[in-house]
Amino acid sequence: MGLENLTIHELRSKLDSKEVSSVELTRDVLNRIKVTDGEINSFVSLTADEAMLAAEAADKRIASGDIAPLTGIPIAVKDIFCTKGLLTTCSSKMLSNFIPPYDATSVAKIKEEGAVIVGKTNMDEFAMGSSTETSFYGPTKNPWDTSRIPGGSSGGSASSVAADQCIASLGTDTGGSIRQPAALCGMVGMKPTYGRVSRYGVVAFASSLDQVGPMTKDVEDAAILLGALSGHDPLDSTSINCEVPDYREMLTGDIKGLKIGIPKEYFIDGMDEDVSRSVTKSIEDMAALGAEVVDISLPHTEYAVAVYYIIAPAEASSNLARFDGVKYGHRAEGLTELIEMYKKTRAQGFGDEVKRRIMLGTYALSSGYYDAYYLKAQKVRSLISDDFKKAFERCDIIVTPTVPSPAFKIGEKSADPLQMYLSDIFTISCNLAGLPGISVPCGFSEGGLPIGLQILGKHFEEGTVLKAAHAYEQATDWHKRKPKF
């Protein structure tokens, strides 16, 4: 029936009017996955049987009038979220046999609404990467060009939405891992304010940066899914207790007088011409809708990648200490000495990029180097946050490209970690400052690859970011284009 092509809000009315059932919809989605995933590799594991049961339950709920925004909607979940009774691998050999006895709060929340989980999506191992190439389960392909990467680390969550293998998905974003793949796959991805969505049950990478967010086909769906995920959770001590507005109500289409800041540091020499052209045109489009364009400066932008590659690996080296072959996951066989067992287990269980980051982080935190690296990075993090505070005195949102260039070829950057790290140059500052940010489609390269526009907002002002993104999206039709896959 082709129901997999539709959005949450389109399906909501069809489901509620009984024009279609969740069982029919879920069958279409599972069939689409079956036909396409051999080539794209969006999924680490499928949950077809559980999904059909959840769809039947959703249809009963709808029939009884007990309807929530996500009831009966097929959703894919990044394989970093603990899902009770379902394999959760983080795309690592280390967790290739891990079956959590509990659900992450985000997963519990969408299940309570009656969402249908269709599978767990592929990612860079432990979310460390920008291309989904570091997965133990092989790379995911970009549906727009299968010789190219989908971005990362939430690459499977992005490709599955772009290829209509689900209606929406959950991702996580530590340095751009939702927004960057959303841009490269031509769909919408949002990182909320740090603390807006619970991190409970999400395998931790860098705890002061990680945030859960929605990945969807349009901005209205992002507003719906963000609403379902947001809110205080006593199980996450960094979850903030503040009111969650009705994000959908804020999508008025009216951005007259909204001040959009354009940071000169994000429009650098040597940037890809297609990206530069598309983003410049988007800013003109927003001005034509009545927004006021303000030139701003974020002077410490050039230091963000360096700060990130101290702080994120440092936190990761500590978080990943728990994978020691004792409580869960892989254990090296046949060893009778404890330290040796730890070392061999970790040598066998982790891939190259994860080892690289654990080493970098352990080094940065080790005695004699802490002040020079970790403390220094935390101080420069303050300078980056202050840049945003000052900039937001003069504007309501900040508009930039999401990524400096369209999707690169599989294998193109895997031999040079530093080049790979620099592809996150426009997304990292947002995590360091804890701000909300979204990527929306804003054009295509000459070669037909999607380009993303990033919109950043003030702490807890996701509504303003969504409103601006929605007004822009409704004035264009980039989000309606689909890959010919």
Partner 1 sequence: MKIQAEEIRKVAHLARLELSEKESQQLTGDMNNVLGYIDKLAELETENVEPTSHAVPATNAFREDICRDFFSAEEGLSNAPDSEDGSFKVPKVIE
Segment lying near partner 1 (by CB under 8 A), choices 24-32, 46-54, 320-328, 476-484: 320-328
Please report whether residue 136 would count as binding partner 1 according to CB under 8 A.
no
Among positions 286-305, residues that touch partner 1 (CB under 8 A) are 300, 302-303, 305
* Six token digits for residue 246: 């009705």
Cβ-based nearer residue to partner 1, 238 or 476:
238
Cβ-based nearer residue to partner 1, 48 or 240:
240
Please report whether residue 344 would count as binding partner 1 according to CB under 8 A.
yes
The 222-241 site mask, x for binding partner 1 (CB under 8 A), equals ------------x--xxxx-
Please report whether residue 339 would count as binding partner 1 according to CB under 8 A.
yes
Give CA 477 to chain center in angstroms: 22
Please report whether residue 247 would count as binding partner 1 according to CB under 8 A.
no
In whole angstroms, how close is the CB of 439 to partner 1 at the nearest point?
20
Q: Which of 1, 35, 287, 321 binds partner 1 (CB under 8 A)?
A: 321
Please report whether residue 484 would count as binding partner 1 according to CB under 8 A.
no
Backbone angles phi, psi at 210, to 5 degrees: -60, 140
Cβ-based nearer residue to partner 1, 63 or 347:
347
Among positions 19-58, residues that touch partner 1 (CB under 8 A) are none
Q: Which of 81, 205, 247, 350 binds partner 1 (CB under 8 A)?
A: 350
SS (H, E, C) the chain: CCHHHCCHHHHHHHHHCCCCCHHHHHHHHHHHHHHHHHHHCCEEEECHHHHHHHHHHHHHHHHCCCCCCCCCCEEEEECCECECCECCCCCCHHHCCCCCCCCCHHHHHHHHCCCEEEEEECCCHHHCCCCCCCCCCCCCCECCECCECCCCCCHHHHHHHHCCCCCEEEEEECCCCCHHHHHHHCCEEEECCCCCECCCCECCCCCCCCEEEEEECCHHHHHHHHHHHECCCCCCCCCCCCCCCCHHHHCCCCCCCCEEEEEHHHCCCCCCHHHHHHHHHHHHHHHHCCCEEEEECCCCHHHHHHHHHHHHHHHHHHHHHHCCCCCCCCCCCCCCCHHHHHHHHHHHHCCHHHHHHHHHHHHHHCCCCCHHHHHHHHHHHHHHHHHHHHHCCCCCEEEEECCCCCCCECCCCCCCHHHHHHCCCCCHHHHHCCCCEEEEEEEECCCCCEEEEEEEECCCCHHHHHHHHHHHHHCCCHHHCCCCC
Dihedral-angle region of residue 163 (phi above 0 means left; psi in -120 to 50 means alpha; beta otherwise): alpha
The one catalytic residue in 42, 153, 429, 439 is 153
Q: Which of 109, 459, 467, 479 binds partner 1 (CB under 8 A)?
A: 459
Using CA atoms of 170, 171, 172, 176 in order, give the dihedral in degrees to the nearest 10. Answer: -140
In whole angstroms, how close is the CB of 362 to partner 1 at the nearest point?
4
In whole angstroms, how close is the CB of 344 to partner 1 at the nearest point?
6
The one catalytic residue in 91, 131, 177, 230 is 177
Q: Which of 359, 390, 448, 481 binds partner 1 (CB under 8 A)?
A: 359
Please report whether residue 191 would count as binding partner 1 according to CB under 8 A.
no
In whole angstroms, how close is the CB of 440 to partner 1 at the nearest point?
23
Please report whether residue 5 would count as binding partner 1 according to CB under 8 A.
no
Active site residue 153: yes
Please report whether residue 137 would count as binding partner 1 according to CB under 8 A.
no
Q: Which of 129, 189, 263, 325 binds partner 1 (CB under 8 A)?
A: 325
Please report whether residue 243 would count as binding partner 1 according to CB under 8 A.
no
Please report whether residue 63 would count as binding partner 1 according to CB under 8 A.
no
Residues 37, 214: Cα–Cα separation, whole Å: 21
In whole angstroms, how close is the CB of 218 to partner 1 at the nearest point?
28
The one catalytic residue in 21, 22, 42, 78 is 78
Number of residues interacting with partner 1: please give it, by CB under 8 A.
74
Please report whether residue 404 would count as binding partner 1 according to CB under 8 A.
no
Q: Which of 45, 50, 53, 102 binds partner 1 (CB under 8 A)?
A: 102
The 367-396 site mask, x for binding partner 1 (CB under 8 A), equals ------x-xxxxxxxxx-x-----------
Active site residue 78: yes
Please report whether residue 433 would count as binding partner 1 according to CB under 8 A.
yes
In whole angstroms, how close is the CB of 375 to partner 1 at the nearest point?
6
Active site residue 92: no
Residues 433, 385: Cα–Cα separation, whole Å: 5
> Which residues are known catalytic residues?
78, 153, 177
